[in-house]
Amino acid sequence: MPATLKDIARLSGCSFQAVSAILRDQPGTRFSPATRARVLLVAEQLGYRPNASARAMRSGRTGCIAVLRGTHPNHSSLSPHLLGGIMRELDGQDLHAAILSLDDAQLTSPEHLPKLLREVVADGVLIKYDHRIPPRLGALLAQAGIPAVWVNSRQPADCVHPDDLEAGRLATERLIRLGHRRIAYADFSYDLADATEHYSAHDRHAGYRTAMRAARLAPRLLGGRRGHPAPAARLDFCLDTLRGPERPTAVIGNSAWSTCPFWHAALRLGLRVPADLSLLTFENWRHDALGQELTQYLVPEAEMGQAAVSRLLALLAAPGVAQAPLVLPFTWVPGNPWRG
């Protein structure tokens, strides 16, 4: 049986309230150095750890952050990196996280969520964005007084997301500076089941177009919401694209899913990467297995997790004070060799 305050009190000859005060070293109370030492010693010997449930019940604080995720495997799953970032930030604070999985029904009609959240007694909640979450969830949580921070979302406040717009712009400008003129943007993600336009895909593409227009170059979209090839026809689509007279000298892919087919086509056509075709891709995390010729722009997953937690903690400390969205830059992982 775990040791309690009363056990320590009995063995060190004082009241359990004194033990409690000493172990937390509550400001405003004074105890003699002798008592203090005795209590600390006994606590150490018994391997005392405060009972989290009791503490939570008394203080109202659980030291627990709920993390919402959908159950759909393709969308809104918690990546190890995001989880790692969340944990890194929590660990310093003597907090832990409870993961809460929501099935599609709960995601779509979140009326019962506040109740559910209260049951997993948590101080606040981190919500990994999923396009199926209806916007009214924010209002519901606010109404229930549950502090929430959104991850990878564009809420008006209390959210953290990657700077997709800037990443799209930077990637394009980098290629332009290298002398590329025919730069295409590829997005085949729409042949995924249940794919709808995501902020990220939209913003990356928008950043690309901005940079192209600024340089007076014609943007070119391969794939996209309309016009994406069927999965089986993808490779042929890419071969055709790379064989044409107007073939791009660089392709920026919305994800590895969109970029790899071009790479494979290039390999098959004998084009050298990146000498004949530069390939840039956005990705959630570093795909070492993809090989080192691809240049990757990595979504700052770990940083998002960390930032989201620290925002949530700030929100807990100062309830009701909304904070402006926090926008995080991508990480540039140059391919090898990188011409530039």
Partner DNA sequence: GAACATTGGTAGAACGTTCTATCATGCCCG
Partner DNA sequence: CGGGCATGATAGAACGTTCTACCAATGTTC
Binding status of residue 115 toward DNA by CB under 7 A: no
Do residues 263 and 253 make contact, with C-beta atoms less than 8 angstroms apart? no
Residue 336 binds: one of a second copy, DNA, none (C-beta under 5 to 8 A by kind): a second copy
Candidates 112-120, 154-162, 210-218, 316-324; binding stretch for a second copy (CB under 8 A): 112-120
Other C-beta atoms lying within 10 Å of the C-beta of residue 247: 16
User: Using an 8 Å Cβ cutoff, are 266 and 294 in contact?
Assistant: no
Distance CA(279)–CA(276), nearest Å, equals 10
Strand ranges in the chain using DSSP code E only, listed in sequence order: 64-70, 96-102, 124-128, 148-151, 159-162, 183-187, 220-223, 250-253, 278-283, 295-298, 326-328, 331-333
- Binds a second copy by CB under 8 A, chosen from 30, 119, 319, 320: 119
* Least distance CB 19 / DNA (angstroms): 8
Looking at 12, 62, 249, 278, which residue binds a second copy (CB under 8 A)?
A: 62
Question: Which one of 55, 72, 180, 198 is in contact with DNA (CB under 7 A)?
Answer: 55
Q: Closest separation between CB of residue 37 and DNA, Å?
A: 10
- Pick the binder of a second copy from 257, 316, 325, 326 (CB under 8 A): 257
| Exposed / middle / buried, residue 182 (Cβ in 10 Å: 0-12, 13-18, 19+) | middle
Q: Which of 67, 130, 122, 71 is nearest to 100 (CA)?
A: 67
Rounded to whole angstroms, the Cα distance separating 150 from 158 reads 6
Look up residue 20 and give its DSSP letter: H
Span 74-93, contacts to a second copy by CB under 8 A: 77-81, 83-84, 87-88, 90-91
Note whether 263 and 293 are within 8 A (CB). Answer: yes
In the bound state with a second copy, the residue whose beta carbon lies nearer, of 75 and 169, is: 75
- Contact present, 215 and 182 (Cβ < 8 Å): no
Report how many residues bind a second copy under the rule CB under 8 A.
Answer: 60
CB of 67 to DNA, least distance (A): 24
User: Among candidates 213, 267, 276, which has minimal Cα distance to 247?
Assistant: 276
Nearer of residues 3 and 176 to a second copy, judged by Cβ: 3
Instruction: Pick one of 4, 20, 35, 71: the residue that binds a second copy (CB under 8 A).
Output: 71
For tokens 């995601």, the residue is 107
Phi, psi of 11, deg, nearest 5: -75, -25
Binder of residue 4, out of DNA, a second copy, none (CB less than 5 to 8 A by kind):
DNA
**The two structure tokens encoding residue 306:** 């960390």
Helix (H, G, I), strand (E, B) or coil at 199: helix
Would you give the binding string for DNA spanning residues 9-38, x where CB under 7 A is met? ----xxxxxx-xx-xx-x--xxxx-xx---
The yes or no reply on residue 54 touching DNA (CB under 7 A) is yes
Q: Is 287 in the site for a second copy (CB under 8 A)?
A: yes
**Residue 34 Cβ vs DNA, minimum distance, rounded to whole Å:** 6
Q: Which residues form the interface with a second copy (CB under 8 A)?
A: 2, 47, 49-54, 56-57, 62, 64, 69, 71, 73, 77-81, 83-84, 87-88, 90-91, 96-101, 103, 114-116, 118-121, 231-232, 235, 255-257, 260-261, 264, 267-268, 270, 287-292, 302, 336
Q: Which residues form the interface with DNA (CB under 7 A)?
A: 1-2, 4-6, 13-18, 20-21, 23-24, 26, 29-32, 34-35, 48, 50-51, 54-55, 57-59
